[in-house]
Structure 1
């Protein structure tokens, strides 16, 4: 009968276990699903047997323990993004930018098996409190991370998704609720446009804002509009593409032209009088100044450019809208108080 092996303290060792005399560490060796010999190590026998139990549970659940111990979040993201053949180019680059800009350096080098729910909650609040991201922006990053961990589960690398249910907790703790945006009334639109037209700083935005209100186009559709897309004779605007400001291959933002997400996005919009007059006025200004626009994705002749002939920045446009709204509301509240009426 074979003599049972024992450790240096005289305790019986199980099959596959041994204790090294050089450093007194315990080792458990086993053969993985691919026939390769592997080992786990521990400083004491109780810790080793806990790891053995985890291995047996992984094997029972079909989890690749060896791979799980080695693969990092960065590596898993690379595997995930390499499979997203159906993503639109703009979405593909946005996913890569968000991950490498906010996740890669902070969490990316950690092993998948070491990331727990608490770690991810802490990371999400780090994005909100330290990086000053809004909850909606964190939600975009969450969509990416949740998908990466789901792929790891399908690949039998981990058992659970540590991001599951986090956004509900984040929204609850931050008091976040998605705003229900109500359209401006006709009186509010008129007040906004009158204020803009009479403000020396922002009057340059009148043609663009008139176009927004008169067509309902998205910002990218408006900024991508060219003179070739405008049929003054028949008073028709052809929407066939949009301009997007997104991260490039070197993480520097750049303009690109994209197609609408759906076929319904390609459409003709009739020009109302206000839009017709605004575009005619802008055409005259550029004609006198000289038509100078950038070339983006092979296209040129863009309508809504600044004094330097560049497309107007979405950030600058949003800041202008916020500033005008704040000043306009303050002025209207003062007038309403003086006239003993409700503000518009």
Structure 2
């Protein structure tokens, strides 16, 4: 068994992995390796569970979220598994503990009245860039999906939006050159390729425009060149400030759409499909939180049955 260091294994693993995953995933893995794993474990020939646990505490201390750290550990596991398969390193499965998170993260959503105000404003001040915010509130699209939307994805005859691509700026490391590039690709998972019906208001907004635009142009720019998520995010931030809205992340528009669906008593499976989640548990964990009224009802019902 010819032992190799972690960083030597990483080089071989990347060459292998590149053949199987999307360019954007590969870029994300490379970034996590470069920024976190290689500086910490690069020279190691053996990686013990205790060291990984210590690494987790260091990262929490640096202010990384548990989700980010878990993503980093997934990459670490993949590399170690690959190294062990090729007998370059001993693979001990590791089980890392995280401190209990005390604060329940509140989902950020627009209140009904704020959502109405934003949608009203966009209907009265139509611009292609404004339209994107309206579309997200009406369909729950992700920012990369709305930036990649072209007019041919919008079917006003049948009132359907086809979501089939996403756009993101990825970080590319080739040899020793580091650069970023804009990538238009299929969405996150196969469930993300989906069709969302348009609301009446959205259809009324889009029908006249659709007749006169170039079908291959991007919706948000009405041009052959798209806007990228970072640029659109700052446009959105300014729009919300201008309207005196709470400081809500762009992704909050998707949360608001989902929350309105659940409030309207839509069945969860449908909401899950509209959002393009790969399984319904994602939807349930994120959006289905019984409120006090529902909790009381459950308790009353239970005791009524006991009588």
| TM bracket, shorter-chain basis | 0.5 to 0.7
CA distance in 2, matches of 1:81, 1:254: 19
Quote how far apart the aligned CAs of 1:126 are: 3.5
1:150 aligned to which of 77, 81, 100: 81
User: 2:52 pairs with 120, 127, 131, which one?
Assistant: 120
Cα-to-partner distance string for 1:113-148 (whole Å, 9 max, x where unaligned): 2x3334333433443444x43222222111101221
Q: What secondary structure does 1:302 align onto?
A: coil
Query: Is the 1:226–1:302 Cα contact (8 Å) retained in structure 2?
Result: yes
Deviations 1:196-247 (A, max 9, x none): 759x9xx985311210111222222211101222233443322222212221
CA shift for structure 1 position 100: 1.8
Partner of 2:32: 98
What residue number does 1:222 align with? 146
**Residue 259 of structure 1, aligned match among 165, 179, 186:** 186
Structure 2: gaps of 5 or more residues: 248-307
Partner residue in 2 for 1:328: 245
Structure 2 vs 1, CA of residues 301 and 243 (structure 1 numbering), >3 Å: closer, same or farther?
same
Match of 1:138 among 65, 69, 79: 69
Partner of 1:190: 116
Return the alpha-carbon distance in structure 2 between the equivalents of residues 323 and 301 of structure 1: 23
Do the aligned partners of 2:166 and 2:187 also contact (CA within 8 Å) in 1?
yes
Which of 236, 239, 242 does residue 166 from structure 2 map onto? 242
Unpaired segments ≥5 residues, structure 1:
1-63, 292-298, 331-344
TM-score normalised to the size of structure 2? 0.61
Aligned to 1:304: 220
Q: How many residues align?
A: 240
Partner Cα distance (1:262, 1:137) in 2? 19
Is 1:79 paired with 2:12? Answer: yes
8 Å Cα contact 1:193-1:206 kept in structure 2:
no
8 A Cα contact 1:224 1:302, kept in partner: yes
Q: Is the 8 A contact 2:144 2:229 kept in 1?
A: no
Question: Residue 268 of structure 1: SS of its match in structure 2?
Answer: strand
Q: 2:92 is paired with a residue of what secondary structure? A: coil
Separation of aligned partners in 1, 2:232 and 2:58 = 27
Q: Which structure exhibits the higher relative contact order, with contacts defined as CA atoms closer than 8 Å and separated by 6 or more residues?
A: 2
Contact 1:248 1:254 (C-alpha < 8 Å) held by counterparts: yes
Secondary structure, in 3 states, of the residue corresponding to 2:195? strand
For residues 243-269 of structure 1, what are the alpha-carbon distances to aligned partners after superposition, in whole Å with 9 as ceiling and x for unaligned?
A: 122213444232111123555443333
CA distance 1:176–1:118, change in 2 (3 Å): farther
Distance 1:178 1:88, change over 3 A: farther
Q: Please give the alpha-carbon distance, in whole angstroms, between the structure 1 residues aligned to 2:31 and 2:7.
A: 13
Q: Alignment RMSD, CA only? A: 4.1
- Name which one, 1 or 2, has greater alpha-carbon Rg: 1
Q: Is the 8 A contact 1:112 1:158 kept in 2?
A: yes
Q: Does 1:165 align with 2:95?
A: yes
TM-score normalised to structure 1 length: 0.55
